[in-house]
Structure 1
């Protein structure tokens, strides 16, 4: 009887850093095994912001909410389709893709816990201390709150 695969959850959004983290993960954890024979089950999670977090409570009319929601759904579909296509191009077809609504920090930690993940992979935007203080750091939050190993993949800086 074959051993059950460990679970790897990876966060995906529409950024270059996220795409790089997915590419790096596939190249290092899946390609050496021939894609689907890797020891991990891959779950890609996209955190779709809630309409209220995007629009805020600054007096936007109710008529704009369905438009914003439709745009957020289109973006989620674009991100997940792009991730699936990229996995297929790397011969990894045994992939589960999920879209969960909420803040990326909470969504990724919850997904890792729900799937009993061994590893949570997140990309790093490389924000400085000031931006990180205002925007928060998904990778920092996950590293401290997730109940599994967290791997932060940093895109190399380009040399000028």
Structure 2
């Protein structure tokens, strides 16, 4: 099987971490490339935003992304748990891991990433909004599933605790 380019939407929420874990456990094979896709609010203003606002950042190799100064240049605060998982998968399965940062509407930027990066598949988390909230707030995952240029897997987040 040929190596694939697998995009994973990441905002460090529990649902995006679930999506990453699911992709690592069920989808990623040796030789694949994982692109961790961050979409930041247009109001965030890191130093590099002006350079890359239209196209997103260049691909950032994991070894550079781990450096706090590099992450801060893009307005990110990486999660140690996510970085450890990415380090482990890159070593154990010989997977290339890179990150890319976009600024704007997550719906549109995830679609841009699918096309620009020629993703073979995209994995995103779902907040599990009910039908009314989904209509009022809009669902990023629903929009991406309906409009992406590649197959999309939506991973539901961890179950919510039952209130007694």
| TM-score, normalization by structure 2 | 0.71
Deviation, 1:15, is 1.0
Deviation, 1:151, is 0.6
Deviation, 1:81, is 6.5
Structure 1 residue ranges, 4+ long, deviating more than 6 angstroms after superposition: none
Deviation, 1:7, is 1.1
The more displaced of 95-104 and 129-138 is: 129-138
More helix by share: 1
Structure 1 alignment gaps of length 5 or more: 52-67
| 1:18 matches 2:5 | no
SS at match of 1:127: coil
Picking from 2, 9, 25, the partner of 1:27 is 25
Deviation, 1:86, is 2.4
Counterpart residue number, 1:47 = 39
Structure 2 alignment gaps of length 5 or more: 47-70
| TM-score, normalization by structure 1 | 0.72
Residues 7 and 101 of structure 1: CA distance in aligned 2, closer, same or farther (over 3 Å): same
d(CA) in 1 for partners of 2:76, 2:84: 12
| 1:113 matches 2:115 | yes
